[in-house]
Structure 1
Amino acid sequence: MSKLPILKSKDVVKALERLGFVIIRSKGSHLQLKRGNILVTVPIHTFLLDKNSINFKF
């Protein structure tokens, strides 16, 4: 099984936007992006994000 890379939050947001997600809300240090009925919360911090930092809701 391959490991997921550790990414910067701005790179995650750019990738999600390329996939059709739209920023719907920014509160504190978190962004929420939405595409259809999928909601993604991305923390915006100065440190790198691992696979457990991003929250998906369907």
Structure 2
Amino acid sequence: MPKLPAITGDAVINALEKVNFQVVRQKGSHVRMQHEDGRVVTIPVHSGKTIGKGLLLKILRDAELTKEEFISLL
């Protein structure tokens, strides 16, 4: 099983947009994205900071993506 890379919130947003997630709203430094089937994901976007491993796993669970699927989107 491949290791998750250390990536920023912007990179996560770009990857999720490739699988039809759209930015719905932003409040402060948190971006809410929604898929056309109703899945919702919240991503913190702090300039220059990477997303922690645990939070990235939570985002992938909410987006219903596997690690392999996510890594292929990067």
TM category, shorter: 0.7 to 0.9
Deviations 1:18-47 (A, max 9, x none): 110000010011000000121010001121
Aligned residues of 1:31 and 1:42 also touching (Cα < 8 A): yes
Runs of 4+ in 1 over 3 A off after TM superposition: none
By percentage of residues, which structure has more strand? 1
Cα separation, 2, equivalents of 1:8 and 1:33: 16
TM-score, normalised via structure 1 length: 0.82
List runs of 5+ in structure 2 lacking aligned partners.
Answer: 65-74
Cα separation, 1, equivalents of 2:26 and 2:18: 18
**1:11 matched to which residue of 2?**
11
Identity %: 33
By percentage of residues, which structure has more helix? 2
Q: How many residues align?
A: 58
List runs of 5+ in structure 1 lacking aligned partners.
Answer: none
How many angstroms does 1:52 deviate by?
Answer: 2.1
CA RMSD of aligned residues (A): 1.9
Cα separation, 2, equivalents of 1:17 and 1:49: 17
